[in-house]
Amino acid sequence: MLLPMSPTDSMFLTIEARQRPMHVAGLHLYQPPPDAPDSYVHDLFDQMIAVEDVAPLFRRRPARSITTAGQWGWEDDGQFDIEHHVRHNALPNPGRILELLALCSRLHGSLLDRHRPLWEAHVIEGLDDGRFAIYFKIHHALVDGISAERLLRSLLSTDPDERDVPPPWASRPPKSRPVAEFTGEPRPRSLFEIPVSAARSALGIVADAAGIPTALARTVNRGIRDQSAPVSFSAPRTMFNVPITGSRRFAGQSWPIGRIRRVGKTTGATLNDVVLAMCSGALRGYLQDLRALPDTSLIAMVPVALRVRDRQREGGNSVGAVMCNLGTQLADPAERLKTVHRSMTDGKAALATMSPLQILAMSALGTSPLLLQSLPGLHSFTRPPFNLIISNVPGPRTPLYLNGARLDGMYPLSIPFDGQALNITCTSYNTELAFGLTGCRRTVPHLQRLLGHIEDSLAGLEAAAGIT
C-alpha cells in the first residue's frame, strides 16, 4: 500500500536527473578515544549494521502505480538490506584529507537507487592521522538539509563515556526523539533548502493573497534600482551560471569562530556579514586566477530568519531570501564588507515590512528562474537570478562524541543546480565554522583552491580592521 507523498517532496523526485542528484549530505570527522582498540572502527560498523528494528522513514522507497494515477508515493521496502545502505570504506594511501574529499565527491555525485530507500551511510577509515569519518547522504524527498544534519547528529552524545548510542536509522521509543525526525511527518523547511518547491508554492498563492501585488511592485522596484531585495535584476553572467554535469567536487575546511567574530565586532558587522565578505574576497581571487571575474558584482542568494513583529501572525519567525551584493568588483576588503553589510541590512529591512505570506511569495519569485534554467537551451536566453547560494546554519555549541570518539569537524554537502554550479554552505560546531563547497567538477575547476582564497580573504579583513 502506498503512503501519500506531498507535492513538495515528489517535486524533488520529478526534477532529479543524472546531472542533478537531489540528495543532501554531511561529512563528520572523528578522533577515536585514547583507549580504542585497533578494531574500533570495524566494531562501530558492525554495531551499525546490527540494527534489527529500522525506523519507518529509513525503510521507505518511492513508488507509483496506476492506483495513484502515476503520482509518487512511499511504500515499505519488503526486501530491505541494511548492508546496502550502511557501508565500510577505506581510503587509499596516503590517506590524506585530499583522498577523503575525493571519495566524498564521488559518493555525492552518484544517484541513489530508487528501487531502495533513498539513503546511504559510509563509515570511512584509513586517514593517515588515525581519525575516521562518516559520510551520510539522504534524498531531499525524505528530509531537508537541516533535518539530515540533525539525523546524523543523533549519533552523538555530550558524554565522552557514553557507549552504544543507536544509529539514526534505529527505531526509538516515541518519547525519545521528536516524531518528525524518524517517521517522515511534515517538517519545517528553510527557503534556502528548497528554492524550487518554494517557487511552486508561490505560484499557487500569488494570485489570491491580499497585499502581494503591492509587495511585488515594491520588490521589483527595489530590484530595478539595484537595491537588495528578494528579486535581483543585476546578477552578471559568470562561469557558475551554466548547465552542469552530474560530477561533483567537494572541499571543506574550518575556521575559528573567534577570528570571524573579532572582525565583526571591530567593524560593526554581523558574523554572517563577515562570512559573506570572506566568500566575496575568495570568489574575487578565485575568478581573477581564472581570468573570469565580471566587471559588476556577483549576487548571492542568502536565506535569512526574520522575527515577525505582528503578534497576530502565526509563529514567531519567518524565513526569506535576500539577494546580497557581494562587492566582488571592489579591491578593498573593507569596502567589500561595507557593501555586504549595507546590502544585507537593506534586504532584511525590506522583508521585515512584509507578511510571512508575502515573504514566501516574493522570495520564491526571486528563485523561480532556476526552473527555467533547468530547461534545455533556456540558460543562454535567461539572466541568472543570482550567481550562487551562500548559507550559514548554526550548529552545536559544545563538543560531541560518538561512542567515545570526539567529533572534530562537521561539513555540509549541498545541491548544485543547472545554472548554479557552486554552492557554499557553512555550519558552526563548538568553536569552529566549517565551510562546505559543493560544485560541478567539470564546471568549477580547482575547487580546493577556493579554500585558500577564503583564508586570504579573512586575513585581508583582519588587516583592514586593524586586527593583528
The catalytic residue positions are 140
Q: Which three cell numbers stand for residue 315?
A: 509563529
- The candidate with the shortest Cα–Cα distance to 151, out of 164, 139, 136, 134, is 136
DSSP annotation of 284: H
Asked if 348 and 304 count as a contact pair (C-beta separation under 8 A), the reply is yes
CA distance 182 to 54: 10
DSSP annotation of 119: E
3-state percent helix, strand, coil for the chain, nearest multiple of 5: 35, 25, 40
Helix ranges, 50-116 (H): 82-85, 97-108
- The candidate with the shortest Cα–Cα distance to 321, out of 280, 362, 271, is 362
CA 394 from centre of chain: 12
Q: Which three cell numbers stand for residue 43?
A: 566494531
Three-state DSSP class for residue 20: strand
Asked if 228 and 325 count as a contact pair (C-beta separation under 8 A), the reply is yes
